[in-house]
Amino acid sequence: MLTFGKSDLTAVAAIFTFALWSCNNQPANTGKIQASTPPETAFAPTPLDNSMNNSFKLRLEWHGKDPDGIAQGYEYRVQGPLFDNTWQSTEAFFVDFKFRNGWYAVEVRAVDNTGTVDPTPAKLRFHVLGPTFDKGILIMDDEPKDALLERLTDAYYDSLMLGAGYAKYTVWDYQAKFAIQRPTFTSTANGEGLGAFSTIIWSTNPAGNLGLNERIIQDYLDMGGNLWVAGSNVIEALTGTSPSGIDLAPNSLPYKYFHVLRAKSADLNLDWLLGIDNRFPDLQTTYQVPRTTIFQYLTTKANQLIPQPDAQRLYLFSGNYYRDTRRSININSEEFANTPCAVLYKGANFKSALFGFPLVSVVRAGSLTANVVNTKAMTTVVRHMLVNEFKEPK
């Protein structure tokens, strides 16, 4: 047991009193940290300030310098077409942009390791020679045909467009126009690029050239163009591979831009294509040869399209599969019955439609020629897609 004398108790009391005073009477400047000097920010020299007609694809680079620390990240904002002038954060010293045609102002500010932001952001102003989307509708005819069927198909496209209320549109024959040089996205000295058109209707087949232009098509959609692909085996035209029902690669064009999960191809004799709602009427794909009992079917390479959940189903294959014993052919397919063959996907800046069958299909029965996709019903589809989905002015 410890014992304390009077003098010891006095010393203990003095120490205790000093401890309390120390806890409650801190120096006036305690807790103050020397202020961080803000970082400084600068752009790399390309493009030059107030420069004209830069490429629509631009990598903007910058760097930050902090005298009493390090630049740990950056904030940037863009004022111009498709941008809302809000600050975005990145740890990288560059960002890859795709710009529409017009003037842009970009600001960037460094952020140091204390969270201090450059109060005087670096600024850059420049003009981009990018897509204009001011030429309306382009029909890309990417189906090689003989001369007679080419004229007949063109006539049917004219009847569809005029019936839908569109008298002004552009038609390009891919094989003729791009026999030497592929299409460009932006306009060049040699002519208009795809980015001049707000909507492209690309008619194709398995040997079509969609896959050869994948990067241009991605640029077109990323920048806000609308694309409608229709024809026989459209997935094969997009990927170069006949679809087998296995999930598509996540980086493939149909997966990323049409939101198709998987697809499968087949050569079918079709009788009906069934619309999901009344905006898409059923399409009868047969006609009776005059003065006979023979029915001509739409015989085509068709795609079954299984969409991702956020894509809209537009058309289904008919469940009416049977064998035509008169000619020993199978009509439709049990495997394909009541599964999608046309989808629509609405992206952030674009809309894309994928039809696993042609919009027009011209056949000849002896000396007679007919369009086996019902023209009146298909005209209704074209009108709805262009007016209501793609918002194309007449």
Reduced to 3 DSSP states, what percent helix, strand and coil does the chain have, rounded to the nearest 5?
A: 20, 40, 40
DSSP 320: -
d(C-alpha 321, C-alpha 333), whole Å:
6
- Provide the CA 290 distance to its chain's centre, in angstroms: 45
Sign of CA dihedral 342, 217, 180, 128: positive
The length of the chain is 394
d(C-alpha 252, C-alpha 342), whole Å:
18
Q: What is the CATH number of domain 137-389?
A: 3.40.50
- What confidence score (pLDDT) does residue 17 get? 42
pLDDT by residue, tens only, the chain of 394 residues? 334 444 444 444 444 343 433 344 444 444 444 567 899 999 998 899 999 888 888 899 999 998 888 888 999 999 998 888 999 999 999 999 988 889 999 999 999 999 999 999 999 999 998 888 889 999 999 987 777 788 888 889 999 999 999 999 999 999 989 988 899 888 876 778 899 999 999 999 888 999 999 999 999 999 899 999 999 899 999 998 889 889 999 999 999 999 999 999 988 899 899 999 889 999 999 888 877 888 888 888 899 999 999 999 999 999 998 888 877 888 898 899 999 999 999 998 899 999 999 998 887 766 667 888 899 999 999 999 999 999 999 8
- What confidence score (pLDDT) does residue 367 get? 61
Sign of CA dihedral 236, 242, 243, 247: negative
d(C-alpha 346, C-alpha 151), whole Å:
33
- What confidence score (pLDDT) does residue 317 get? 94
Contacts of 209 (CB under 8 A, 6+ apart): 142, 174, 178, 182, 237
- Is the Cβ–Cβ distance between 349 and 307 less than 8 Å? no
3-state SS class at 32: coil
The architecture (CATH level 2) of 40-129 comes to: Sandwich (2.60)
Half-sphere exposure of 390 (CA within 13 A, CB side): 26
pTM: 0.78
d(C-alpha 215, C-alpha 210), whole Å:
10
Question: How do the domains of the chain map onto residue ranges?
Answer: 40-129, 137-389
- Is the Cβ–Cβ distance between 82 and 100 less than 8 Å? yes
Residue among 76, 65, 72, 62 nearest 38 (CA): 65
- What confidence score (pLDDT) does residue 365 get? 64
Instruction: Please give the structure tokens belonging to residue 243.
Output: 């679809």
